[in-house]
Chains A and B, each alone.
Chain A
Amino acid sequence: MRVFSFVALTVLSFTSFCYAAGPVVLVKHQEQYNGYMKLPRLSEVVTTVNTVPALYWPAARLYKTDPESVNALELQRQELLKVLANLKQAYLLDDEAELAASTEALSQDVKNWVLAEQLFLALDPDKVRAKPALNPILRAGQYLLQVENRSETITVAGFAQNTEVQFINAADASDYFAGIKPLAGASSSFLYILPAAQQVIQAKIGLWNSQRQDVPAGAILYVPFEQRNLPSEFENLNQQVIELLQHRVVL
């Protein structure tokens, strides 16, 4: 009796597999793939990988990696690179070689970013399971779920030589800035913090405006260009970089 039903089940699932021609949602986590034949709720996806207590969910990021999503970001990247090239030209015309070099350095950096569409959703399984509003059904497609142990480093992007700094306990954004080697033209008044799945935070770190702002583990720090160094037609440059940086897959 048991055997029969087992066989029946296998056949059934096999047929449905053939019919659907593969899972509708495929989630990659730490080089493993989890497929879902039916559109899953977020809680199913996050609990599946929640196997050890050391996973640090506050820094978890969920990316949609389908070609459509990635292509849209690729266009955005090309736009940004064009802007940066123009800015560099403008600096060269003004004999601002150092600023042009900084712009070029950021360009190179942006070219190397791995991009995927970050979804701004709370991912902690305990939060997601407790509240229906935090537990939506995901759209069909391919995803990348990044959740690791609490990171010992903070990623740095923008007008800085460093690509990362050591995580510091209970530190203010300005403590991190002290460990960053800024490129020429970088702001010494502001630092942007990009926590996982949250809005960007503008930290005030200058002598004239400093205000306490902690940096969460797993965040990305963006060192912006000092606003007064930007010609007026490039005044939104920092915002443009941040918009793209939100969708950078930090490896």
Chain B
Amino acid sequence: MPKYAAIFYSVAFLSLAGCSNTVRTYTDTLKLAFNPGEGATLTKEQLADRKADALYATVGTLPRAQLALAYIEHGQYKWISADNAFLVLEHGRLVKTTGFDNDLLFVTGTDKDPLKQPMTKIQPGQQWQGATDWAVHQETGYKISYEIADIRVDKIELLDRQFDTKLVTELVTFSNGETAVNLFWFDLSSGLLLKSQQHIAPFWPAVELIHISSAARLMGIAKSGSRK
């Protein structure tokens, strides 16, 4: 019965060398995976004391991160994260990233962006087209088109206060035909952008941005315009 012996001594050790240190590494990893932090929340006092403006950023389903305004250069607001990644906003629109897995390098045609106008002039039917360039595989010139689909008044609550806002709903169409909806909430009285939800690529999760320092400034608890 040769077959009986066939797989006989194939008892094999899967040895896990590296001991306690390794176990700790894994526990840390699991902790991060299941509880990657509570998400950023600043109190009014903290906002009043801050030197640099703060921005909350939530990407996909992750807890939100807090970014600081590092530079304002030729109309671009450059927000930096704790790990030195940048989100660059132009009139509130995300137009560039650095430090991510696949960075958005450039968006063309932003000069036609309706968000450039004063808030009151943003109207349904306004549209524009751009092309996006990406860091991975030198992907260049992927079309993206935007059309403002709806305008309405909406209330949002920030720092325990209700803001009356103009909610701009924008339809985004990517080069592969996929679509998404962008939302922008402007403060009705000042025209300042308070919050947005944006999509920059079919493969990027939705990005939610809350301009918490702008809200604080409208409430009179933060000093005017400041950066790191």
Contacts and interface: CB of A to CB of B under 8 A. Distances in A.
B27 interface: no
A217 B141 contact: yes
A51 interface: yes
Contact of B141 (A56, A171, A201): A171
A174 B80 CA distance: 38
B84 A131 contact: yes
Nearest to A167: B141
Contact of B78 (A51, A126, A168, A219): A126
Given A53-B75, A127-B98, A214 B88 contact: no
Contacts of A213: 137-138
A156 interface: no
Given A53-B75, A126-B96, A130-B98, A214 B138 contact: yes
Interface in A201-238: 201, 213-217, 219
Contacts of A130: 80, 84-86, 98-99
A193 interface: yes
Contacts of B110: 53
B106 interface: yes
Given A126-B88, A126-B96, A150-B106, A50 B141 contact: no
Give the secondary structure class of B's interface. Answer: strand
Contacts of A171: 141
Contact of A52 (B74, B80, B99, B175): B74
B131 interface: yes
Given A50-B73, A127-B98, A169 B141 contact: yes
B96 A168 contact: no
A144 B104 CA distance: 26
Interface string B138-171: 1111110000000000000000000000000000
Interface in B78-137: 78, 80, 84-86, 88, 90, 96, 98-99, 105-106, 108, 110, 131, 133, 137
Interface string B15-53: 000000000000000000000000000000000000000
Contacts of A127: 98-99
Contacts of B76: 53
Contacts of A217: 133, 140-141
A168 B141 contact: yes
Nearest to A149: B108
A170 B137 CA distance: 11
B99 A215 contact: no
A53 B175 CA distance: 24
Interface of B: 73-76, 78, 80, 84-86, 88, 90, 96, 98-99, 105-106, 108, 110, 131, 133, 137-143, 175
Given A127-B99, A170-B131, 15 more contacts: A53-B74, A58-B133, A126-B86, A126-B88, A126-B98, A127-B98, A130-B84, A130-B86, A169-B131, A169-B143, A170-B141, A193-B138, A195-B138, A201-B138, A214-B137
9 contacts: A53-B110, A124-B98, A169-B142, A193-B138, A213-B137, A213-B138, A215-B138, A216-B140, A217-B133
Interface of A: 50-53, 56-58, 124, 126-127, 130-131, 150, 167-171, 193, 195, 201, 213-217, 219
